[in-house]
Amino acid sequence: MTIYLDNNATTALAPEVREAMLPHLFGPAANPSSPHGPGMAARLAVGEARAQIAALIGAKPADLVMTGSAAEATHAAILGALRTLEETDHSSHIVATAVEHPSTLALFEDLRQQGWRVTILPVNADGLPSLSDLAAVVTERTALVSMMWANNETGVLMPVAGASAIAHAHGALFHTDAAQAAGRVPVDCGIADYLTLSAHKMHGPKGVGALYVRKGAPFRPLVHGHQERRRRGGTENVPGIVGFGAAASLAALWMDEGDPGGELVAFLRDRLEAGILARWPGAQVNGGRVARLPNTTNIRFADGRGRPVDAEELLTRLDRAGIAVSMGAACSSGGNEPSHVLTAMGLSGAEASASLRFSLSRYSTAAEIDAVLGELPALHARLVAA
């Protein structure tokens, strides 16, 4: 049995989600736009799921545009806003933080090449951008500010409410990528003009995302068509959307059941973190001094003299022992580039490459954590003594 501690890359489908999806995978063929009974049933199911997802972030169902991923939702938000402003406005400046998801940073780079003035805000050693830095760069010519709710590599919670206030004070729009935060900590769409969600980070299916668009916020569709109130064309992914709705409901239920901030997950995460630090002299937590998601810890491993160890080797050995973790983001794992998040926090390339991310879920158990800790002394002896 694999001990799966890579839940920021993706999560297992919850049994409740699977059950909700099955009738839509194997039931009668139905396009939600069709006029007959099965079409109507599919339409109702999509509507119910939309309401479940909206409830998780305090939105109205009509404010959600279903997408094929969080990456698409973020592109739809930023391009959907900017393509409108280009026509009406002289704003030419956009802002994002240095630790956004790689697909968001690639979009900002693309926009820079198209002539937008782009500011990438640095972060400090804790992984946090400074609001005074933001206030110093946002002006009346700023069209949009994008700041993720929680970082996928370190779990660090970003100052999104303050950033939104600064953006709005200058008439700029505010987008936040809450793909990692929603379902794990309370997320309220009220601070944002646009908010990105993903189903597969909360025990829903892959290939489904959603974008919250505040009523009245400028938006031009990337994909034209009559679906999603003309904001995203394409026949709806009915089973995926239904699964997303079930996952959002389950996440809300978990948070309502006396565990709003994921304290139970945090308890296990803290046990793992403290256990690793006790068994691996010189290990340090990246981003560990500030508020984080309850499920994430990112640890930098060193040898007896404080020199960074090769975390890839550690990852491989853990994998052989049936323990799945990752080096930073799933997308950068396997590549040789050190994490852009950790280097933005001031780590050297070698230090970043000596770091592993452990991300838990509501299904993680104390026995699993203890099994991981049980492997560490031998791994330490091998890697550090070798």
Site residues for ligand PLP per CB under 6 A: 69-71, 101, 148, 152, 177, 179-180, 198, 209, 329-330
Written as six digits, the tokens of 222 are 């990337």
Inter-residue contact 355 to 300 (CB < 8 Å): yes
Q: CB 144 → ligand PLP: shortest distance, Å? A: 17
Please report how close the Cβ of residue 371 comes to ligand PLP at its closest, in angstroms: 26
Min. distance of Cβ 194 from ligand PLP in angstroms? 13
Question: Minimum distance between the CB of residue 196 and ligand PLP, rounded to whole angstroms?
Answer: 7
Cα 343 from Cα 386, distance rounded (Å): 27
Spot the catalytic one: 22, 169, 331, 381: 331
- How far apart are the C-alpha atoms of 291 and 117, rounded to whole Å? 31
- CB nearer to ligand PLP: give 154 or 227: 154
Distance of alpha carbon 286 from alpha carbon 290, whole angstroms: 10
CB of 85 to ligand PLP, least distance (A): 23
Q: Please, is 170 exposed, middle or buried when counting C-beta atoms within 10 Å of its C-beta (0-12, 13-18, 19+)?
A: middle
By CB atoms closer than 10 A (0-12, 13-18, 19+), residue 49 is buried
189 in active site: no
Q: What are the tokens at 236?
A: 């709806």
- Toward ligand PLP, which CB reaches closer, 148 or 160? 148
In Å, how far are 32, 64, 65 from 39, measured between CA atoms? 5, 21, 20
Instruction: Give the residue with the Cβ less far from ligand PLP, 101 or 231.
Output: 101
- Residue with smaller CB distance to ligand PLP, 91 or 297: 297
Kindly tell me which of 326 and 364 has the beta carbon lying closer to ligand PLP. Answer: 326
Sheet strand arrangement including 64-67: 64-67, 209-213, 194-198, 173-177, 142-146, 93-97, 117-121
CA dihedral 189, 190, 193, 198 (to 10 degrees): 0
Instruction: Point out the residues that are catalytic.
Output: 331
